Amino acid sequence: MLAGVLQVREGRLQVLLWQRAQAPDLHRWSLPGGRLAPDEDVETSIRRQLAEKVDVRQLSHVEQLSVFSAPARVPGTRMVATAFLGLVPADVDPVVPTDTRWCAVDDLPETAFDHQEIVLAARDRLSAKLSYTNLGFALAPEEFTVSELRGIYSAALGYQVSATNLQRVLSRRGVLEPTGRTMPAGPSGGRPPALFRFTSRDLQVTDPFAVFKPPT
């Protein structure tokens, strides 16, 4: 099993990779993962492996992504991999081992085996689900301004999103609500920005036929 763990960091969608210390594909960057224990279900297993191998314990969402079964995906004995998508909120900063790092999805280093394909599949799954579900909750902090949420959606979708349109769409779907609190005003003064939150932090299909599209 492999985990494509994504997070919006420094304004970019990034994935957690670790550097292989043995052949094949020595020193290339790979997705964390491992084998399913006899007494585990798959989600328990992937959460355990992430905690043990790369010290990531604050996943806000995990789902099965796909099975990757190309006969030559790894050298030697044929291996089939079940890949998972995992999301970490933007306000969490896991302390990861020295052989592990966050890498921008749109500027990946040389990866092992078919792991670049898996990363891009995870990105595409996330982008699609942001259109028709409330999955933004898994990338966002508990509370945020509309401007912060716009930055998260823009990074995850790969293009700039209008803050006004995003707030309107998510509010109309009933997934976004004001907290009644504000951020402190900036040094230049002006109206303090309002804080919002997702109405639920469980995955919900909100508009099954919706598709976010880049501006034309």
- pLDDT tens digits, 110-119: 999 999 999 9
Q: What residue numbers bound the domain in which 28 lies?
A: 2-125
Structure tokens at 157: 């979708």
Show Cβ contacts of residue 166 under 8 Å, excluding neighbours closer than 6 positions: 146, 149, 150, 153
Of 54, 16, 15, 60, the closest CA to residue 34 belongs to 54
User: 34 and 82 in one domain?
Assistant: yes
pLDDT at 153 over 70: yes
User: 156 and 89 in one domain?
Assistant: no
Q: CA 4, CA 87: separation in Å to the nearest integer?
A: 8
Q: Tell me the average pLDDT across 33-43.
A: 88
The 3-state DSSP composition of the chain as helix, strand, coil percent (nearest 5) reads: 30, 25, 45
Q: CA 131, CA 158: separation in Å to the nearest integer?
A: 13
144 in a domain, yes or no? yes
CATH of residue 191: 1.10.10.10
Show Cβ contacts of residue 36 under 8 Å, excluding neighbours closer than 6 positions: 1, 42, 45
56 in a domain, yes or no? yes
Report the domain count for the chain. 2
CATH of residue 6: 3.90.79.10
Q: How confident is the model at residue 138 (pLDDT cuts 50, 70, 90)?
A: very high
- pLDDT tens digits, 49-95: 898 888 888 899 999 999 999 998 988 888 899 999 999 999 999 88
- pLDDT tens digits, 12-23: 999 999 999 999
- Using DSSP's 3-state secondary structure scheme, residue 62 falls into strand
216 in a domain, yes or no? no
